[in-house]
Amino acid sequence: MAENSMTTDQRNIMKFDPKDHEIALSTEDLHVFYGKSEAISEGDLQFERYKISALIGPSGSGKSTYLRSLNRMNDRIATVKGKIMYRGLDINSNDIDVYEMRRHIGMVFQRPNPFAKSIYENIAFALRQRGMTKKQDLDEVVERSLRQAAMWDQVKDDLNKSALALSGGQQQRLCIARAIAIKPDILLLDEPASALDPVSTSQIEDTLLELKQNYTIIIVTHNMQQASRISDYTAFFNLGKVLEYAETGDIFTNPKVDLTNDYISGNFG
């Protein structure tokens, strides 16, 4: 710990030049409090459009808290201060319609959480709640989303089966399909593969690389191989602070911050 506190001043945070990079989402001076304790004290990041950005760091470093603040899933649990800029809007302000905002910034969670409904309904349900009622339209979106999540061929004959009967990996892909069915701009993923076996994990990774063409993806992961395999940019969190944010290749081969190096070489965390 003493070592950590000595080196936390050392930081290396990349900023994009807006001329060459389109920023999909960025945070400015973000602080997150659980009660009185501060979980995130410095979190200023920019996320480029149609790229995969990975958030890594040891347990309790605040990476999940940070991610969950981005679409305000922490609203009732924590106090989030600072700005979250999306399309020129501060979505952390009080006048934002949170429910509408989450249709633009979707989320997939650590544990697969399909609804206790059929596979079809898992996807169609939220669409219907927002007024898409024509069976033909719904069928179309269900098929397209399941195809994008690379599971259409496996489940196309079982659409009326309960989603809870699927395997863990399939459930998680259904959750991804469900999230992209409402066509968000940005997809937040909170360790989406940590509860899955290696085969399912690599399928999910393939799916994410595929989705990158149309979505901005921000993913929290414990798995450093995963971060290096799929992400374009990587942010390293420690003790509630972003210590380093750079291109993934640089982070893994040439980290500028000592702690990043310690972490990726497995010395702590």
Partner 1 sequence: MNAKRIDKIATGVLYGVAALVVIILVALLGFILIEGVPKISWHFLTSPALAFEAGGGIGIQLFNSFYLLFLALLISLPISLGAGIYLNEYAPQNTVTGLIRTTIEILSSLPSVVVGLFGYLFFVVQFKLGFSILSGSFALTVFNLPILTRSIEEALANISNDQREAGYALGLSRWETVTKIVVPAALPSIITGVVLSAGRIFGEAAALIYTAGQSAPALDFSDWNPFNISSPLSPLRPAETLAVHIWKINSEGIMPDAKAVSAGSSAVLIIAVLLFNFLARWLGKRLYKHLTAE
Where along the sequence are the contacts to partner 1 (CB under 8 A)? Answer: 71, 73, 99-103, 106-109, 111, 113-117, 125-126, 129-130, 158, 160-162, 164-165, 175, 178-179, 182
Q: Which is nearer to partner 1, 25 or 107 (CB)?
A: 107
Query: Which element (helix H / strand E) includes 52?
Result: strand 52-56
Q: What is the distance between the alpha carbons of residues 104 and 101, in angstroms, rounded to a whole number?
A: 5
Query: Least CB distance from residue 125 to partner 1, whole Å?
Result: 7
Q: What is the distance between the alpha carbons of residues 71 and 226, in angstroms, rounded to a whole number?
A: 23
Closest C-alpha to 164, from 115, 109, 108: 115
Closest C-alpha to 228, from 207, 203, 246, 214: 246
Query: Least CB distance from residue 157 to partner 1, whole Å?
Result: 12
Q: What is the distance between the alpha carbons of residues 99 and 180, in angstroms, rounded to a whole number?
A: 16
Query: Least CB distance from residue 143 to partner 1, whole Å?
Result: 18
Q: Which is nearer to partner 1, 24 or 189 (CB)?
A: 189
Q: Which is nearer to partner 1, 48 or 121 (CB)?
A: 121
Query: Least CB distance from residue 154 to partner 1, whole Å?
Result: 15
Q: What is the distance between the alpha carbons of residues 265 and 54, in angstroms, rounded to a whole number?
A: 17
DSSP 207: H
Query: Least CB distance from residue 67 to partner 1, whole Å?
Result: 12
